[in-house]
Each structure stands twice: as structure tokens, then as C-alpha cells.
Amino acid sequence: MRVQREKVVLTFQKLGMKGADRWEDPLLKKKVSDMPKYASGEEDLEDPELQAMLEDILASCEKGEEIEIDTEAPSGEVQAQVQTVPSQPKRRGRPAKTTSSVEKSEPKKRTKRSEGPSSDAGSRKRSPRKDGEPSTKQKVYSAWKQSGETLSPAELQSTYPQVQLTTVRSWLGGWKNKKNLPAGVS
């Protein structure tokens, strides 16, 4: 069987293979011989001529016939239908700097972290601990232990509002399993 290259390319494009127009002839021939993998014959190609050609190719593949691809210049109508997808060069590495990004701008003024507004979570401010003072985790743990391990996370959080409820829940979950205890507790 002999088929025109442009019609085969258009058929593959209708089947969803947009880059079929860039395939070399050996690859196109292999794809045509593997056509049963890509189409079952039930597809609607909207063009009866392409539909008939697809069915003929599938029948030839089923019989084991060799399919030749005619690379002669096609008719103007078929060539106009073949969609050419412009190839884009592969981009590797970092993009080149443009003149606008190369221009020198004023150097940024460096500031210390302690200057300016802090980006701590919300309005909570952390006060530094005095030497020998137990950590907040230690205080919450002590209150929990003194209650006989019966205080709920919400009760502990209301006693220590600087600690979030989810943090207290996390701590209690670990403490019940004797894990993630505060420093100095064994």
C-alpha cells in the first residue's frame, strides 16, 4: 500500500500528535506500521478521505502488508491543512541577562534584623528568659504533671496564652508517650 506523507501526517495530527509534521521519514514509517497502537478505526477524523485512508492502513497492518510513504509534493489543499508547529530551541541553564537587568541600580541598604517591625507570628512578642527561669514548655509540663495529667489542652492554653493551642496539643501527645519532654525532665 502507498500513502501520501502529508495525508499521513494530517491523520496523526487529527489523532492528537501535534508534532507529526517534524517526524523524519523512517520514524513516520515506523509510526504508520504501528498505527493499530494509536487508532482503532472508530475515531472520527472529520474528513472522509482521511477516515478511509486510516481504515485502509489499519487493514494493511492487520494483513501484515508493507506500507510505503510517498514523499512527492502533495496537492495544495492537503499541504494547507497540515499544521506546522514551530519548534522552540531547548532552554538550558539560566536565561541570559538583558540590558535592563544589567543596568546598575542603587545598592540596597542593609539593616539589622533587630531594626524595623518584627515578622513574628502575629502580635505575640517573645521576651527573653532570665537566667534560671524555666522555659514555657517546662511551665506547661509542670502544670500538667501537677494536675495528675488530667488538664485538657484548652485549659493549659488558657493558663499560658502565649502558647498556641495546637502546640499544647502536640506537646501533650508526646508527653503521654514519654517523648519530647522539656529539657531537664527525665
Domain boundary among 66, 81, 96: 81
- CA distances to 13, 96, 147, 182, 184 from 138, rounded to whole Å, are 69, 54, 14, 5, 9
Residue 50 included in any domain = yes
Query: What is the percentage of the chain residues whose pLDDT exceeds 90?
Result: 9
Q: Say how many CA atoms lie within 13 Å of 10 toward its Cβ.
A: 20
Same-domain check for residues 77 and 10: yes
Q: How many domains does the chain have?
A: 2
Question: Given pLDDT bands bounded at 50, 70 and 90, which one contains residue 73?
Answer: low
Residue 104 included in any domain = no
Task: Fill in the amino acid letter for 186.
Answer: S
Residue 51 included in any domain = yes
Q: What is the mean pLDDT of residues 97-102?
A: 58
Q: How many C-beta atoms lie closer than 10 Å to residue 12's C-beta? A: 22
Residue 156 included in any domain = yes
Residue 45's domain comprises 2-81
Residue 105 included in any domain = no
Would the pLDDT of 27 be above 80? Answer: yes
